[in-house]
Amino acid sequence: MSGYETALSRAGARGVEINSVLKNTYMLLAMTLLFSATMAGAAMALRMPPLNLIVTLVGWFGLLFLTTKFRNSPLGLVFVFAFTGFMGFTVGPIVNIYMSALPNGGEVVMTALGGTGLIFIGLSAYALVTRKDFSFIGGMLMTGILVAFIAGLAAVIFSLPALSLAVSAMFVLLMSGLILYQTGEIVHGGETNYIMATITLYITIYNLFMSLLHIFGLFSDD
């Protein structure tokens, strides 16, 4: 009986921990998205030009490295907002380009934004309700993301629109899988650090939006 009660106590404590990680992740994600949107709006209002590719990559990976390094300290929260704010700041000029270059630019941006929200909410809800274990797709996702990232750089450097479109489609699929994977990791206790969970989910939302914006923008460009 004592062993049974101990097992129940441990299971209950683990359940509380998982719920805490889940709650903190979505609270922090909401705040970072709001902050990121504010930074994007500021960049749009200031009519900032798109940042140089090298500067963008250094900023992304540098801040991501610092966030990961300090993920177990309060300083990690500072770098989470620095990272998401910087990423939001890079979005603003790109959105301005779509708004000015396309006759229906506003519609394209809102469609991409709505599509991103529907995909994220739908897949997150599915993973939370079904509580399925998606850990088996982790390796495939990491390999696919690496391949897509390299292909995306090649498409930008060599100006290959067809490859760029294919990469955007790949990222929509890969980020959808990553939402399922990361949410499943939280639900099953595989991810116990809400800062890293937030960063991963934020990156999925960012890449989904940018990929859908690119796809819808190309198909609406006469």
Q: What is the mean pLDDT of each run of 10 residues along the chain (222 residues)?
A: 48 66 95 97 95 92 96 95 97 95 93 97 95 93 94 90 94 96 93 95 97 92 56
Please give the angle made by the CA atoms of 68, 164 and 172, to the nearest 5 degrees.
55
At residue 146, what is the residue type? L
Which residue pairs, CB below 8 angstroms and at least 24 apart, start in 111-115? 111/212, 111/216, 112/209, 112/212, 112/213, 112/216, 113/209, 115/208, 115/212, 115/216
Nearest to 221, CA basis, from 112, 108, 91, 116: 108
pLDDT value at residue 220: 81
**Residues near 120 by beta carbon (within 8 Å), at least 6 away in sequence:** 179, 201, 204, 205, 208
pLDDT value at residue 59: 95
pLDDT value at residue 4: 45
Helix residue ranges per DSSP H, 158-193: 161-187
Mark 169-183 as b/e (b = at least 16 C-beta within 10 Å).
ebbbebbbbbbbbbb
For 51, the 3-state DSSP assignment is coil
